[in-house]
A and B are shown apart, each in its own frame.
Chain A
Amino acid sequence: MLSLDREFLSIVMVSLSVSFASTFLSVLLAIPVGIWLATARFKGRQITITILNTSMSIPTVVIGLFLYSLLSRQGPLGGLGILFTPAAMIAGQCILAFPIIAATITGGVSNLGNKPYIAARLLGASHTRSTFLFLREAKLIVMTSALAGFGRVFSEIGVSMMLGGNIRFYTRNITTAIALETSRGEFGLGIALGIVLLTVAFLINAIAYSFRKAR
């Protein structure tokens, strides 16, 4: 069941590479947004945070449908020709992971406050160096939020199925493969992939726990 055949490895690699890429891009976008929402004071801040929190629970199929309508041949972004490619899956998973990562960073940085920035300024650091020192202090918050985002995208199926198309050796990942194998009555590969999914989920939680403990 757990023999590392080519198909099995391809499925796992698609899952890992797409999820890593989408989490990485989401983190890059979420860091400035999360810090801005945590530290800036502006009219509409609370409603923005509420919208961000609400968008954490958008169903994956809704994101899939939305992006499908944009990326399909008749859609406004159809010219890109990325529907049913890993790029489309990454785009969809980015939308999925972004609110989770940004909201977690907002919460964590709100607790941290601007104390590290002010402390660095008072020691004579420039604005840039103070910002760098602030980010250094927030690194565990960013890592914990990245893990939360990765956990979400690694186990989702709606976006992958609708935007990736479950193409063998190309966009088939763990969740879409499990759905396919189960519908075919081929439980062996499905269970093996399920074990991989659970193992990765366990590892993510273990790492997140160690980060929380370190904080």
Chain B
Amino acid sequence: MMISSVKLENVTKRYNGTPFCLQIDNLEFHNRDIHVIVGPNGSGKSTILNLIAFLDRPDAGCVLIDGRPLFNHDRDVDNQLRKRIGYVRQNRYLFDMNVFDNVALGLRIRKQPKNEIASQVDSILPLFKLEHLEKRSVKSLSKGEYQKVAIAQVLVLKPEIILIDEPDANIDALSKISIEETIKKIQKERNSVVIMTTHSLKQAHRMSPRIISMRDGKVIDSGEENFFFENK
């Protein structure tokens, strides 16, 4: 069954004796839709994604996917769940390979047959207008192209939960819009849960009405009726 809800319950997280970087009583992403977390730097946006993607454990509380807490299963169950989550980090990293091999890497890790890999990669690259760059080394790509490859590398795996941290960091306006449109299109086609972060209020509104506003590690506003933005 497809994943339909992600929930953070009484979650706290702090790094190396710093004050709380995340304190959340209850936050639920309960629709297969795009959810945008917006807030200034250091507000805890990326920490939420790291917790959902198994990259970090909360100090207290738990993260639940369809009611099942992460890190509480046996390792095999967690690994299966991990494979249903795709995470495009802000600190993206592509391997020293060409574009095709980078996008195909996750499929190869999943031991998909060769012809299946080729067809999957060939179908995702045109969505990001990357098909002509297939054989190019990722080192020679522009920032926008690099960003698109990093997103394609995750989306080709057809994750049910897609986490995207600051998809527009350091790229031009045209690439930004094209990436946003592609994310929306893919979400609609696959009916997946997309949780993305941004510090741009405009981008948040372009992407979805479901906006969660954060500051100092706390949710200060959420839902479609977003007073935080209306008062801005």
* A residues adjacent to B (C-beta < 8 A): 115-116, 118-120, 122-125, 129, 133, 136-137
Contact = CB atoms under 8 A, between A and B. Distances in A.
17 contacts: A116-B93, A116-B95, A118-B55, A118-B89, A119-B93, A119-B95, A120-B109, A122-B87, A122-B154, A123-B106, A123-B153, A124-B82, A124-B83, A124-B106, A136-B95, A137-B95, A137-B96
Nearest to B163: A122
Q: Which 5 A-B pairs have the closest CB atoms?
A: A123-B106, A115-B93, A119-B93, A124-B83, A125-B109
Interface in B207-224: none
B82 A118 contact: no
A124 B154 CA distance: 10
Interface in B132-165: 153-154, 157
A133 B106 contact: no
Contacts of B109: 120, 123-125, 129
B170 interface: no
Given A122-B89, A123-B109, 5 more contacts: A118-B89, A123-B154, A124-B79, A136-B96, A137-B96
Interface in B77-109: 79, 82-83, 86-87, 89, 91-96, 105-106, 109
B91 A115 contact: yes
A125 B109 CA distance: 6
A119 B82 CA distance: 13
Name which of B86, B89, B91, B109 has the most chain A CB atoms within 10 A of its CB.
Answer: B109
B196 interface: no
B93 A123 contact: no
A122 B86 CA distance: 7
Contacts of A129: 109
B96 A124 contact: no
Nearest to B94: A119
A144 B108 CA distance: 29
Residue with the greatest number of chain B CB neighbours at <10 A, chosen from A115, A124, A129, A133: A124
A115 B94 CA distance: 9
Contacts of A120: 105, 109
Nearest to A140: B96
A125 B79 CA distance: 10
B22 interface: no
B53 interface: yes
Contacts of B157: 123-124
A53 B79 CA distance: 40
B186 to A, nearest CB: 17
A115 B82 CA distance: 18
A123 B104 CA distance: 10
B95 A133 contact: yes
B202 interface: no
B232 interface: no
Nearest to A115: B93
Contacts of B82: 124
A59 to B, nearest CB: 38
Contacts of A116: 93, 95
Nearest to B83: A124
